[in-house]
Structure 1
Amino acid sequence: MNAKPRIAVVVGTTRPTRFADVPAQWILAQAQARGDMEVELVDLRDHPLPFFDEVASNLWMPSQNPEAIRWQRTVGGFDGYIFVVAEYNHSISGVLKNALDQAYTEWNRKPFTAIGYGGTGAARAVEHLRLIGVELQMVSTHAAVHIGGADFMALHPHFGKQPITAIEANLLPAARTALDELAWWAKATMAARAADVAAAA
């Protein structure tokens, strides 16, 4: 198997004043600079999903809502994910949780990592994301990128207003490790899924 894994950078908040675009564009550039993956941005603003209201998860029966189906087709085309995570009250945003719930089979046996931001670098939200990912039969990387504390304040548009390059040296080691792990798991799970398909044929 020689194909590079396709990775989605999923922007996990839709607020008009969101900060998410800064880390999203930064991690996108880091991932695109590598030679071992193909990376695209997937913005929840482009997917106006309803609150989950299907009869059941698409693990059990096909979804009916056209936007849910479009979302499933979008995320299903990727081999791994980088979630851009804001921390809302010690968890992920409501729109990200809803987006995760709107698919199931498309997430199965695929890896993910995260870049989180906020006072604690979204550490609690990323941990919650990992719990959700396990239930969706995903594989979490050990490493993630956290923009927190003084680094977050340096970038925030209401405080330091600095470009992300001002703190980049603090982020690069974790980003390299997280992306290395993501690439490894993406290749491993791609091979395993292909073997399952071949065995079922």
Structure 2
Amino acid sequence: MDITTHPLKLTVVIASNRTGRFGPTVADWFLSRARLRTDLAVDVVDLAEVELPTALSYDPPPAVREVLGQVTPRLDSADAFVVLTPEYNHSFPAALKNLIDWHYGQWQAKPVAFVSYGGISGGLRAVEQLRQVFAELHAVTVRDTVSFHNAHGHFDEDGTHKDPEAPDGAAKVMLDQLVWWGLALREAKTVRPYGG
């Protein structure tokens, strides 16, 4: 396999699991851009479809292992991640923290980028907190993000972005950075295992 031309396995995590959430609208917009790229193979983990228990355990019962078996291999095989998150009470959703905490090695030495949405801050306070969490897990967060302040106002009733030029450009810059880091880290791990 040519490490520089084989597409990166990108897992997009849709972080909100609330009823009536706006996440799918933002996700559809973002995924339509990401899936145009030939350097990415995209998978989606939607936390509204994953019911991990909130009580962590070093020896999870069979029902929990079954749920983990549907998610963990997908995170494990990913070369890179995009976390698509709203901002709830100046932070990120509990369902996302739960997913992160059930996993450790799956994030190590991999790049993570962010698409956020919310009120006036556009979800950026959630992103800044997530940078700290992912640093603890030995992941590399890319600098540029895509964020939507007052997100509902940017999309029409059909979920089409009303003025896509700026967010399309932001998504390209972010994904370019993510691919650079993803290739660099994937190549480095073929030379020597990560010692986290």
What is the TM-score with the length of structure 2 in the denominator? 0.88
Amino acid at match of 1:110: K
Change (3 A) 1:165 1:190: same
How far has the Cα of 1:9 moved from its partner? 1.1
Q: 1:155 and 1:173 mapped to 2: Cα distance?
A: 15
How far has the Cα of 1:155 moved from its partner? 4.0
The CA deviation string for residues 118-166 of structure 1, in whole angstroms up to 9 with x for no partner, is: 11110100111111110111010100000014xx24147xxx6474320
Which residue of structure 1 lines up, in the alignment, with residue 47 of structure 2? 44
Are the counterparts in 2 of residues 155 and 162 from structure 1 also a CA contact under 8 Å? no
Which residue of structure 1 lines up, in the alignment, with residue 136 of structure 2? 135
Counterparts of 1:87-106 in structure 2, within 5 Å, are: 87-106=87-106
The CA deviation string for residues 5-46 of structure 1, in whole angstroms up to 9 with x for no partner, is: 100111101112110001111111111111211112211123
Are the counterparts in 1 of residues 114 and 127 from structure 2 also a CA contact under 8 Å? yes
Q: Secondary structure at the match of 1:181?
A: helix
Which residue of structure 1 lines up, in the alignment, with residue 153 of structure 2? 154
Which residue of structure 1 lines up, in the alignment, with residue 79 of structure 2? 79
The CA deviation string for residues 152-196 of structure 1, in whole angstroms up to 9 with x for no partner, is: 24147xxx6474320312311211110000000010111111212
What is the TM-score with the length of structure 1 in the denominator? 0.86
Which residue of structure 2 lines up, in the alignment, with residue 180 of structure 1? 176
Change (3 A) 1:155 1:165: closer
Q: 2:50 and 2:116 mapped to 1: Cα distance?
A: 21
Q: 2:107 and 2:93 mapped to 1: Cα distance?
A: 18
Percent identity at matched positions?
29
Are the counterparts in 1 of residues 80 and 182 from structure 2 also a CA contact under 8 Å? yes
**Structure 1: 5+ residue stretches without partners:** 56-61
Are the counterparts in 2 of residues 154 and 162 from structure 1 also a CA contact under 8 Å? no
Q: Secondary structure at the match of 1:112?
A: strand
Q: 1:11 and 1:167 mapped to 2: Cα distance?
A: 23
- Partner residue of 1:196 out of 182, 192, 196: 192
Amino acid at match of 2:79: D
Are the counterparts in 1 of residues 56 and 102 from structure 2 also a CA contact under 8 Å? no
Are the counterparts in 2 of residues 11 and 83 from structure 1 also a CA contact under 8 Å? yes
Q: 1:192 and 1:52 mapped to 2: Cα distance?
A: 35
Q: 2:159 and 2:154 mapped to 1: Cα distance?
A: 6
Counterparts of 1:13-92 in structure 2, within 5 Å, are: 13-55=16-58, 65-66=64-65, 67-92=67-92
Amino acid at match of 1:24: A
